[in-house]
Amino acid sequence: MAGTRFRHRTLVFAGLAASAALVLTGCTSGAGGSDEGSGASTDSVTIGISQFVQHPALDAAAEGFKQAFADAGYVEGETVTFDEKNANAEVATATTIAQTFATNKVDLALAIATPSAQAAAQNLTDVPVLFTAVTDAVAADLVASNEKPGGNVTGTSDLSPVAEQIDLIAEINPDAKKIGMVYGSGEVNSQVQVELAREAAKKHGMEVVEATVTNASELMQATESLGDVDAIYTPSDNLVASGIGAIVGVAEDKGILVIGSDSTHVDGGAAATVGIDYTKLGAQTGEMAIRILKDGADPATMPVETSKDLELTVNLGAAKRLGVELPADLVDRAANVVK
């Protein structure tokens, strides 16, 4: 993003806070409600939510975001309206959604996952844009830096603790030498995680074997193409998350350990993870949105935030189906145990 663009966005946002009532057109629901002592704004606001694809992690982020508004005293349909749209994993659709939000003059937009965030950043320049479930906002060209975003876009990163997750593989299978990874070829966030996994694997004398896909229907074949690997690591990737069952199915047939990048992967059949709670991450993003709408905070100076909560989750049933025995001390220290 060019510096002149950042300055333009900042000036536009400064005017927005002072004239919020004037921009409530298009898809806004109309008259403001009473705050009844809650501290919420008396003006009704319309929030556009663009989700790239439907899967448990992104769904949880959306719900957490909306819950933050409820916790702050907003009443859906009265003091806040959520215009929720799903791109069904189509970049062109994500662009159309962002353009619709621009036409309808939403007061703030939430983009869930990197492709939706990129579409929103490119098409919504006059209103605050928050993102969540984005691994590397700088690499995705969403912000100038995580510390000083510089424009009208900021949000929360779901960068996984990749090193800790690779450590889990070494703890569960000390003899592991090859780790397989399947990911979407078009996702910047996945490429970042592959590099982090490579570095973490080197410390354990392991190598990473990759296979890429362009859509979820290719996941099974891509997983089989990994060959003789000792474990599979599933990154925070939208295609992987939407088709985790295909990867787990192959792993179960071959008796291969699967370590996920978040708890929804464990729910889907991975053996364990040290990961992010996406509901909490979404709520954290919602709290940022409320600071913008109520307190006039400027996205240009709001640092990109990372998850405040990481938890060890294990799935005993999944481990058994994968032919893996989890160390007793690992299970004992898990915050969440799925049976």
The pLDDT score that the predictor gives to residue 2 is: 38
C-alpha dihedral (45, 50, 54, 56), degrees to nearest 10: -60
Instruction: Show the tokens assigned to 207.
Output: 């190598």
pLDDT at 321: 98
Helix axes 56-71, 278-295, angle to 10 degrees: 40
Residue 189 binned pLDDT confidence (cut-offs 50, 70, 90): confident
Q: In this predicted structure, what is the pLDDT of residue 19?
A: 37
The answer to whether residues 172 and 324 touch, using CB atoms and an 8 Å cutoff, is yes
State the DSSP H helix or E strand holding residue 114, giving kind and residue range, or none if neither.
helix 114-123
Q: What is the mean pLDDT of the chain?
A: 89
User: What span, in angstroms and rounded, lies between the C-alpha atoms of 6 and 28?
Assistant: 27
Three-state secondary structure call for residue 184: strand
Q: Which of residues 25 and 128 earns the better pLDDT score?
A: 128
The CA distances from residue 259 to 122, 168, 179, 180, in Å, are 35, 8, 10, 10
Nearest CA among 160, 163, 165, 122 for reference residue 140: 122
The CA-atom distances, in angstroms, between 227 and each of 46, 181, 247 are: 49, 11, 13
Q: Are the C-beta atoms of residues 64 and 88 closer than 8 Å to each other?
A: no
Instruction: Identify any residues that bridge with 310 across adjacent strands, giving them in sequence order.
Output: 276
Distance CA 250, CA 164 (A): 24
Q: Above 70 in pLDDT, residue 316? A: yes
Is residue 251 within 8 Å of residue 232, measured between CB atoms? yes
Q: What's the start-to-end Cα distance of the chain, in Å?
A: 47
Q: Where are the beta strands (DSSP E) in 228-321?
A: 231-234, 257-260, 272-276, 305-306, 310-315
Residue 15: predicted pLDDT: 41
Please check the confidence at residue 23 and state whether its pLDDT lies above 50: no
> Does the pLDDT at position 262 exceed 50?
yes
Strand 272-276 to strand 310-315: parallel, antiparallel, or no bridges (unpaired)? antiparallel
Asked whether the predicted pLDDT for residue 8 surpasses 80, the reply is no
Q: Which residue has the tokens 């400027």?
A: 298
Element (H, E) at 31: none
Specify the DSSP class assigned to residue 21: G
pLDDT score recorded for residue 25: 35
Question: d(Cα 188, Cα 275) in Å, to the nearest integer?
Answer: 20
Integer angstrom CA distances of residue 162 from 46, 61, 196, 236: 36, 20, 6, 10
Torsion of CA 102, 105, 109, 111, to 10 degrees: -20
The whole-model pTM stands at 0.73
- Produce one character per residue of 136-149: b if its CB has 16 or more CB atoms within 10 Å, e if not: bbeebebbbebeeb
Per-residue pLDDT at 312 = 96
Confidence check: pLDDT of 76 > 80: yes
In single-letter form, the type of residue at position 230 comes to: D
Higher pLDDT, 130 or 31: 130
Distance of alpha carbon 167 from alpha carbon 272, whole angstroms: 11
